């Protein structure tokens, strides 16, 4: 068991809270994974959106709010997780009634996912479930085998030309698949815009994109189907991952990495590539 979980067992020793409210879309995922359904007094409205939530199906029948301080107070929570700064200030008086306001760590890597699991597991009164979940994710990652990327370049390219930089969850997933985020060599921030011509000149070995952009649905996604982009990076080297697996670090993290690895191997097999080990 990790030191983080050992440190948090003391917090989890108290009776499990009976009314948990989430004000954070990423916290929703872990609360659904770790809490009993009857403990959950309110998730965010995004928890049941399959485009954003890994656990959308499980959250379908769970209560939700629109994250207003008034709604939260009316729910009489024991624990509020992931309140944004302004809402947290409004909810501060709840502390005098014994309500815990729990902050969420930034979830930009697998390490931060493990820390978040520990935090939420303790907050919902089930630290042992958090430890078990982390062990399960570790085992899933270990079973993925050798990363097939071999250091080749990749760009996570989104609607309207947004490029995801280093130090992000997607960057972490790409590195685990053996890919190098081209945004680093381009000196780009965590999120920036880059035109088609510039991306075509950069010529990454792979493009990683949201699964929903496989077909052009609007102007923002149409640019990702432009012939110029296809000529620079052949469609066989376009890798797709659902946004629900990339918008937050969730227990679906191994699934996202597996998707990347599987598609890299398929592209190499199709093109007859044999990257150097």
20/87: higher pLDDT: 20
- Stated as kind and residue range, the H or E segment containing 10 is helix 3-12
Contacts of 106 (CB under 8 A, 6+ apart): 112
The mean of the pLDDT values for the chain is: 89
pLDDT at 6: 46
252 falls within a domain = yes
Helices 25-34, 110-123: inter-axial angle, 10-degree rounding = 60
- The parent domain of residue 201 ranges over 153-271
Residue 28's nearest CA partner among 130, 142, 120, 108 is: 120
Confidence of residue 128 (pLDDT cuts 50, 70, 90): very high
Total domains present in the chain: 2
**132 and 175: one domain?**
no
Do 52 and 94 fall within a single domain?
Answer: yes
Co-location of 87 and 205 in the same domain: no
As a whole number of Å, the CA-based R_g of the chain is 20
- Tens of pLDDT, residue by residue over 206-238, are 999 998 887 767 766 777 878 888 889 999 999
Are both 117 and 213 inside the same structural domain?
A: no
| Residue 148, in any domain of the structure | no
- The residue length of the chain stands at 277
Give per-residue pLDDT as tens, 145-174.
Answer: 999 999 999 999 998 888 999 999 999 999
189 — pLDDT class (breaks 50, 70, 90):
confident
Are 18 and 96 within one domain? yes
Cβ-based burial of 256 (10 A; exposed 0-12, middle 13-18, buried ≥19): buried
Residue 76, domain member (yes or no): yes
Is it the case that residue 7 has pLDDT exceeding 80? no
The CATH number of residue 136's host domain is 3.40.50.1980
Work out the percent of the chain whose per-residue pLDDT is above 70: 92
> How far, in Å, CA of 112 to CA of 130, rounded?
14
Q: Which of 96, 117, 141 is the last residue of a domain?
A: 141
In a domain, 61, yes or no: yes
124 and 175 co-located in one domain: no
In whole angstroms, give the CA distance from residue 36 to residue 54: 17
Of 98 and 1, the one with more pLDDT: 98
Mean pLDDT of 88-102: 89
pLDDT above 70 (res 106): yes
- Tell me whether residue 111 is in a domain: yes
Domain contains 33: yes
Predicted confidence (pLDDT) at residue 13 exceeds the cutoff of 60: no
Does position 10 have pLDDT exceeding 50, yes or no? Answer: no
- Of 55, 113, 59, the closest CA to residue 244 belongs to 55
Asked whether the predicted pLDDT for residue 117 surpasses 70, the reply is yes
Residues 137 and 193 in one domain: no
Q: Looking at the predicted structure, is the pLDDT value of residue 8 above 80?
A: no
- Do 72 and 119 lie in a common domain? yes
14 close to 125: Cβ distance less than 8 angstroms? yes
**Residue 34 pLDDT greater than 60, yes or no:** yes
Instruction: Please report whether residue 146 resides in a domain.
Output: no
Q: Which residue has the higher pLDDT, 12 or 74?
A: 74
Q: Among 110, 141, 172, give the residue marking a domain's end.
A: 141
Evaluate whether 164 touches 182 at the Cβ level (below 8 Å).
no
> Where is the domain boundary, 141, 170, 189?
141
φ/ψ of residue 241, rounded to 5: -135, 135
Domain-embedded: residue 276: no
Same domain, 26 and 86: yes
């Amino acid at each position: 068991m990790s030191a983080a979980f050992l440190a948090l067992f003391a917090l989890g020793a108290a009776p499990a809270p009976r009314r948990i409210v989430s004000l954070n879309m990423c916290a929703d995922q872990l609360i659904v994974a770790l809490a009993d359904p009857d403990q959950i007094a309110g998730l965010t409205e995004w928890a049941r959106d399959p485009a954003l939530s890994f656990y959308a199906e499980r959250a379908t029948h769970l209560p939700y709010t629109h994250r207003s301080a008034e709604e939260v107070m009316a729910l009489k929570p024991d624990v509020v997780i992931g309140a944004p700064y302004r809402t947290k200030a409004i909810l501060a008086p709840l502390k005098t009634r014994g309500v815990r306001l729990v902050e969420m760590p930034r979830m930009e890597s697998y390490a931060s996912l493990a820390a978040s699991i520990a935090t939420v597991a303790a907050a919902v009164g089930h630290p042992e479930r958090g430890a078990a979940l982390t062990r399960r994710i570790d085992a899933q990652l270990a079973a993925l085998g050798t990363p097939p990327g071999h250091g080749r370049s990749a760009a996570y390219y989104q609607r309207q030309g947004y490029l995801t930089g280093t130090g992000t969850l997607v960057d972490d997933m790409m590195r685990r698949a053996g890919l190098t985020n081209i945004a680093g060599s381009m000196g780009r921030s965590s999120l920036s815009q880059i035109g088609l011509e510039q991306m075509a000149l950069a010529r990454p070995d792979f493009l990683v994109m949201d699964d929903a952009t496989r077909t052009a649905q609007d102007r923002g996604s149409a640019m990702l189907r432009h012939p110029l982009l296809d000529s620079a990076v052949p469609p066989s080297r376009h890798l797709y991952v659902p946004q629900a697996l990339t918008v937050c670090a969730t227990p679906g993290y191994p699934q996202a990495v597996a998707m990347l690895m599987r598609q890299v191997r398929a592209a190499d097999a199709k093109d007859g590539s044999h990257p150097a080990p």
